[in-house]
Amino acid sequence: MRGLFEIKIKKEEKDSKDYIIKKMKERRKNYLLGNIYGYNSDNEKKIYEVPLHIINYFEKNINKGIINLKRKNPNLRKSRIKKKRKNPNLSIQEIKEIYSEILELCKGYKTQKSKCYKNKKIKKMIEKSLQFMRENYYNDKVQEHTNWWQWEIGIPLLINDIFILMGDELKTEMEENLKTTKFFQPDPRYSGNNPVAIHPSGIPFRLSTGGNRTDTVKISLIRAILLTDINELKLALKSLNIVWKYKEEDNCENIGNERDGFYKDGSFIQH
């Protein structure tokens, strides 16, 4: 997450929130696409071409993703007979995997020299898949089940990255999907902070700690960048400080999340 903040800002632009958010979005996009960049002797940023092996990797994942998306989304299959197909029963892990496959399609669509670059059929598949998942599997009308982490962290992280790449072309889908992630994970300081939350302890609402806190901060941070929400951006940054504070040695004997974090001997405990 550090790379989001390593931005060279010209003096006259340093106070512009739009400029800073734009640059943060650019950094995340370059990271997702494997872009290599640096600064020349005149301190001007130069973006270099994406290496061929990364393009090949994206295309391999895209081919796999297209097959899986068509298998799980009846609306993407071609048929001469127009009939309503039953949606498959998907586990929460399968739901998360579909969002991961959609993200791979987005990477290919946005990567120059990829066979899928700006391909209209790929864009349509991305849009239809996002709509299908939103209407049937991941929305504010469904109940959390099986594993809270997928609902509140795993899927929101993927949705954020999908719209870092596609938000400029699929604004309506972006707004609707980010409403859902905010329903499941509204505040970086807490986990289980929604009306349908679950947790093995039986007490869903709790402080997010350790690695989970860095994830909830990342969700709020990138969502704030996408929506130009300065209040959520400030809250995300403010909520990260607690992760870097050393825990007292006595805390390692505690049970549960209270012992999560860094210790002065160099150790880190999560769960």
**DSSP sequence for 127-173:** HHHHHHHHHHTSSTTSPP-S-HHIIIIIHHHHHHHHHHHHTTT-HHH
139/269 Cα distance (integer angstroms)? 33
116/107 Cα distance (integer angstroms)? 9
Find all residues with CB under 8 Å of 102, minimum gap 6, and list them.
65, 69, 126, 129, 130, 133, 158, 162
Residue bearing tokens 């509204």: 186
pLDDT score at 13: 54
Find all residues with CB under 8 Å of 87, minimum gap 6, and list them.
74, 136
pLDDT score at 77: 57
pLDDT single digits (tens) 41-70: 454 555 555 666 667 766 676 666 677 677
> Which residue ranges in the chain fall short of pLDDT 50?
5-7, 9, 12, 38-41, 43, 79-82
Alpha helices in the chain, H assignment, sequence order: 17-33, 52-72, 92-110, 120-136, 148-149, 155-166, 171-184, 210-227, 230-244
143/270 Cα distance (integer angstroms)? 26
Find all residues with CB under 8 Å of 147, minimum gap 6, and list them.
92, 93
**Amino acid, res. 128:** K
pLDDT score at 244: 76
Helix, strand or coil for residue 269? Answer: strand
What predicted TM-score, i.e. pTM, was given to this entire model?
Answer: 0.82
pLDDT score at 18: 84
pLDDT score at 172: 96
pLDDT score at 251: 53
Count of residues in the chain: 271
Choose among 175, 194, 189, 183: nearest CA to 237: 189
Handedness of CA 185, 186, 191, 192 (dihedral sign): negative
Helix, strand or coil for residue 116? Answer: coil
* Encoded tokens for 25: 């979005």
* Encoded tokens for 79: 């048929």
Helix, strand or coil for residue 73? Answer: coil
* Encoded tokens for 98: 């579909």
Give the count of beta carbons closer than 10 Å to the beta carbon of residue 28.
21
Question: Is residue 261 within a helix (H) or strand (E), and if so which, with residue range?
Answer: strand 261-262
DSSP 58: H
pLDDT score at 79: 46
